[in-house]
Amino acid sequence: MELYLPIAEMPINVLTVLAVSAAVGFISGMFGIGGGFMMTPLLIFMGVPPAIAVATGSAQIAASSTTGTLAYWRRQALDVRLGLLLLCGGMIGTVLGVWAFGALRRIGQLDLVIVLSYVTLLFSVGGLMLIESVKTLIAKRRGQSAPGAQRVHKPWYFKLPFSMQFSQSNLEASIIPLLVLALLIGFVGAILGIGGGFLMVPALIYFFRVPTAVVVGTSLFQILFTMLAATILHAATNQAVDIMLAMVLILGGVFGAQFGARAARNVRGDWFRLMLAVLILTIGARFSLDILVPPQEPYSFGTQETRR
Amino acid sequence: MRALLLLIASLAWLGSARAESLVISLSNQHVDINSTYTGAQLALFGVVVRDGRSATRADAYDILISIKGPSGLVTVRRKERFGPIWINREQRKFADVPATLALIGTRPFTDIVDRDFIDRFGMRIESHVLPKGAALADDFGAALIRLKKEDDLFTIRDRDVAFLTPDVFRATLDVPATGPLGIYNVEVSLFAGGVRLAQAETFFTVGKVGFEQLIAREARDHGVLYGMATAAMALCFGWLASVIFRRD
């Protein structure tokens, strides 16, 4: 079943896209991440122009994080105060990111920046998580408590000015590092068409010791509003949001996410983190193949602007 | 030299002037893009109209057709090794290259017209891509042609015009699904014995209609509103899903 995309100006197979977005939705629901870092590359692989894949992906992430946020809200596993603070930083980052996106597209290096950032991010985050979760698992097997729990020292960046209390997250820290973190993730997210959940979740766990139970809901809450803003900004400045593609992605994604969230309840925390780390590393490896293996076809041509 | 060639060609044309003329018609002047659009096919019919007094020709008629899509600038990039990674380094811009190009004929083109004149009738892809007088062994140009051929944007079909009667012919024109919107120019030439006897031109347009047109226009003219509508849709679907699946 083919559907013509009015903005991407190409037909796509609806069933294929539905299947792919449902699969990504399943994984995103399971790990509480938007899944954009899988969806965007897959769309590009299907022939959707990168700019449109990135911009449209933000609409899909908005939809799936709506569902997720509502679910965590009902379970009270959401720190609204922390979420709102992260949102402030995220918004500024998103505005800057959408602007940089347009600038890079004009220079013609957008694709390279996208691939390189993906590889760097996925490997560093995935690697850190893998080491951490394996350490925890080994420690547990030996009957010790997790090494993270022994550290009671507050890191230096907690003690910066403008301290704030986040009771639900059991956190009292300066808002400066939190804002900077959210700004960076918002910036990267707007360029890469990702919500940044896979960055935010580990960052909050490892750098700010926010309890895992609250982290996912809070991150989704922040992502929801950042991605709504990104959708509107991308539509307004880059005219790259395809509403038909967004609809197909959303349909597949929200249903997949429901089943993913259910599957996640049967997985233990440590294994959960190990699985997420492996997943992130796998995608990083797939990306690095693109730039490490000598290409069979070294030539490519860009989107052609024709006179109407 | 070129002027001389042109002179000879036009004399040859004048010599046989009005002996034959071409009448062509397309099955459709507009290709409408709707939600189920996956490319289109048009039929081209042509009739060779002969001056009653002229004698029948010894050589059979041949037809060459070129369908040229909207033109524009295209950038070709080449991946090169940069340290451990392969990235796009060198690039070449080609101005005014047709986004799509289809060349169709009754027989292999060099059997119809002398190899030296092929370019003049626009029946060689290279002449549409490379700037006039550019070296033929251009890597970037050759790559562009190869890639466009792989995507079926450039096609050559050299036995695909059928004469239904000695004077009436028919050809199928394909519009690729990823071809751009705009005007596609169709040029038809009638040949016999290596000489062009007549020529005719027409065009068709590819454009969005109805819902697709509405969406594209809104996205362009009211970007903020369009983005808000998309965002609202995302919220709605997300909320709906959580209502549908709410069990606990």
For B206, the token pair is 């590819």
Nearest to A299 among B39, B71, B78 (CB): B78
Domain that holds residue A40: 11-292
Q: Which long-range contacts (CB under 8 A, 24 or more apart) does A285-294 make?
A: A286/A41, A287/A41, A287/A115, A287/A118, A287/A119, A287/A122, A288/A119, A288/A123, A290/A115, A291/A115, A291/A116, A291/A119, A291/B85, A291/B86, A291/B87, A292/B84, A292/B85, A292/B86, A293/B86, A294/B81, A294/B86
Least confident of A194-203, B25-34, B93-102: A194-203
| B89 in reach of chain A (CB within 8 A) | no
Nearest CA in chain A to B247: A71
Kindly state whether residue A116 falls inside one of the protein's structural domains.
yes
Kindly state whether residue A45 falls inside one of the protein's structural domains.
yes
Q: Phi and psi dihedrals of B71, rounded to 5?
A: -105, 160
Q: Phi and psi dihedrals of A13, rounded to 5?
A: -90, 115
Burial of B170 (0-12, 13-18, 19+ CB in 10 A): middle
According to CATH, the superfamily of the domain at B19-208 is Macroglobulin (MG2) domain (2.60.40.1930)
pLDDT digits (tens, 9 = 90+) for A156-214: 776 676 777 777 767 777 778 888 888 998 888 878 777 777 788 878 887 887 777 78
Q: Phi and psi dihedrals of A108, rounded to 5?
A: 95, 10
- Considering A4-8, B66-70, B112-116, the range whose residues carry the highest mean pLDDT is B66-70
User: Whole-number mean pLDDT of chain B?
Assistant: 84
B143 vs A299: CB contact, 8 Å cut-off?
A: yes
Kindly state whether residue A91 falls inside one of the protein's structural domains.
yes
Nearest CA in chain A to B76: A301
3-state secondary structure of B190: strand
| B210 in reach of chain A (CB within 8 A) | no
A66–chain B nearest CA distance, Å: 5
Q: One-letter amino acid identity for A226?
A: T
> Are the beta carbons of A54 and A246 closer than 8 angstroms?
no
Give residues 21 to 40 of B whose Cβ lies within 8 Å of A.
Answer: 33-39
Mean pLDDT of A78-89: 86
pLDDT at position B24 is 94
How many residue pairs bridge chain A and chain B with CB atoms within 8 Å of each other?
Answer: 196
Kindly state whether residue A306 falls inside one of the protein's structural domains.
no
Judged against a pLDDT cut of 50, whether residue B62 lies above it is answered with yes
pLDDT at position B174 is 92
- Considering A283-292, B37-46, B134-143, the range whose residues carry the highest mean pLDDT is B37-46
Select the residue from B145, B237, B243, B247 to test the A interface by mutation, using most A Cβ atoms within 10 A. Answer: B237
A299 vs B229: CB contact, 8 Å cut-off?
A: no
Judged against a pLDDT cut of 90, whether residue B169 lies above it is answered with yes
B37 vs A62: CB contact, 8 Å cut-off?
A: no
Give residues 126 to 185 of B whose Cβ lies within 8 Å of A.
Answer: 139-140, 143-144, 146-148, 177-178, 180-182
pLDDT at position B103 is 94
pLDDT digits (tens, 9 = 90+) for B176-213: 988 889 999 999 999 988 889 999 999 999 998 888 88
Report the relative pairing of strands A171-174 and A305-306 from DSSP bridges.
unpaired
Give me the percent of chain A exceeding a pLDDT of 70. Answer: 92
A301 vs B237: CB contact, 8 Å cut-off?
A: no
Burial of B110 (0-12, 13-18, 19+ CB in 10 A): middle
Alpha carbon distance A146, A205 (integer Å):
14
Nearest to B74 among A235, A239, A302 (CB): A302
pLDDT at position A107 is 72
pLDDT at position B102 is 95
Report how far Cα A269 is from the mean position of its chain's Cα atoms: 20
| B9 in reach of chain A (CB within 8 A) | no
> Are the beta carbons of A17 and A248 closer than 8 angstroms?
yes
Judged against a pLDDT cut of 50, whether residue B134 lies above it is answered with yes
Judged against a pLDDT cut of 80, whether residue A261 lies above it is answered with no
**Beta strand residue intervals within A139-271, DSSP E:** 163-166, 171-174
Report how far Cα A97 is from the mean position of its chain's Cα atoms: 14
Judged against a pLDDT cut of 90, whether residue A2 lies above it is answered with no
Give me the percent of chain B exceeding a pLDDT of 90. Answer: 36
In sequence order, what are the residues at sequence separation of 6 or more whose Cβ sits closer than 8 angstroms to the Cβ of residue B182?
A306, A307, A308, B69, B70, B205, B206, B207
ipTM associated with this complex: 0.77
List CB contacts (< 8 A) between B75 and chain A.
Answer: 108, 301-302
Kindly state whether residue A213 falls inside one of the protein's structural domains.
yes
The tally of domains found in chain A comes to 1
pLDDT at position A150 is 46
A236 vs B91: CB contact, 8 Å cut-off?
A: no
Mean pLDDT of B117-129: 85
List CB contacts (< 8 A) between B70 and chain A.
Answer: 306-308
A291 vs B85: CB contact, 8 Å cut-off?
A: yes
